[in-house]
Amino acid sequence: MPSKPVGKTLYFSSARALGKSTAGLSLGAARGDGFVWTTVVRVPGATALRLHLTGVDLPPGAELYVYNLAGQAFGPYTGRGPLGDGELHTNTVFGEQLLLQAHSPAGTGRAPRLTVAEVGVMGARFAAPRYQPEGVFDLNDINALAKASNLCSANASCVVNAACQSSSVVNVAKDAVASMLFQSGSSFFLCTGALVADTVATSGTCRTLARGNFIYSRDTLGATEGGSSGSPVLNGSGQIVGQLYGACGTNLNNVCDAANNATVDGAFAVSYPALASFLNPGSGTCNPTGTTCTSNSECCSNSCKVKAGVKSCK
């Protein structure tokens, strides 16, 4: 299952002037008010395709989708991708044809931009492990896709399909397990992933608030309102473990919605080295910047460096 380089940058600078006409636009066709642009990626013989996009920069309100004619569709992808860095690996659609479509409303002020860097091409082995009672499923039949099992003729006779089990434990677990398609170098591989927890406290983080520097938690009693930022966060022993930063979630206008919002606190362990000399003046627990040292552990900054023949805390 190889990745084929493309390196084609798509420019939409003329899209704002299209009016209600239909026109060719950088390897695709567009029509509008605003515009809807579509292009087709086709690889004969492929069982599935996905795209690696770079330089993704969609204005507010613009949306990007991938789909096939069998009914599989994924999106919208927005902004500069899920990590905000312009990188986007699309979902995978079955078949030898993938359609990429951009929607951009009128009056956005700027046009979308992106580069199709690579096309991921899945071969026959990608579809082979998926059978139904009648045999190999039709890649163009979306209903057969949904019913396909995860067994193939090469499986040993002792292998059992979880879909055939009635165990209460299996019934819960099987819905949290899925195949994972990942790229390494120029090839794609399949492995298995499982959802461990689906609560807010273990959900994804906000892009600029990485775990480690910040603590994510879920409110079980009370809530956090504006003006609380900077307040101390205590553990069950009354020790300060953080300082309130804000919230991360999908319904931030409702401070009582603990199901969709997480409270985010700055980790006190990260702040402490810079605060230790003020919190413990003269205590000897750590040395402030500029004082002599022999090891990193002596310094509040955890950094003991040599300069002009003298080791001091930096």
DSSP 130-158: -EETTEEPPTT-HHHHHH--S--TTS-TT
Q: Is 36 exposed, middle or buried (0-12, 13-18, 19+ CB in 10 A)?
A: middle
Alpha carbons 274 and 252: distance in angstroms, whole number: 31
Which pair of structure tokens corresponds to residue 193? 């992933």
Predicted pLDDT at 86: 92
Q: What are phi and psi of 115, to 5 degrees?
A: -125, 130
Predicted pLDDT at 148: 47
Predicted pLDDT at 18: 39
Owner of token pair 């509008």: 32
Predicted pLDDT at 243: 92
Helix or strand holding residue 274 (H, E): helix 268-279
Alpha carbons 115 and 12: distance in angstroms, whole number: 11
Strand partners, 183: 188
Cis peptide bond prior to 76, omega within 30° of 0: yes
Q: Is 182 exposed, middle or buried (0-12, 13-18, 19+ CB in 10 A)?
A: exposed
Predicted pLDDT at 22: 37
Predicted pLDDT at 159: 67
The type of residue at 237 is S
Strand residues in 95-209 grouped as ranges (E): 97-104, 113-122, 131-132, 135-136, 177-184, 187-194
pTM, two decimals, is: 0.52
Q: What is the number of other CB atoms lying within 10 angstroms of the CB of residue 264?
A: 21
The type of residue at 36 is V
**Domain residue ranges of the chain, discontinuous segments joined by +:** 3-124, 131-194, 200-269, 282-313
Predicted pLDDT at 91: 92
Predicted pLDDT at 130: 47
Q: Residues, the chain, total?
A: 314
Alpha carbons 180 and 204: distance in angstroms, whole number: 18
| Cβ contact 201:211 at 8 Å | no
Parallel, antiparallel or unpaired: strands 135-136 and 131-132: antiparallel
CATH of domain 3-124: 2.60.120
Alpha carbons 60 and 175: distance in angstroms, whole number: 35
- The residues of the chain scoring below 70 in pLDDT are 1-2, 10-34, 109, 125, 127-157, 159-161, 163-165, 197-201, 203-204, 281-285
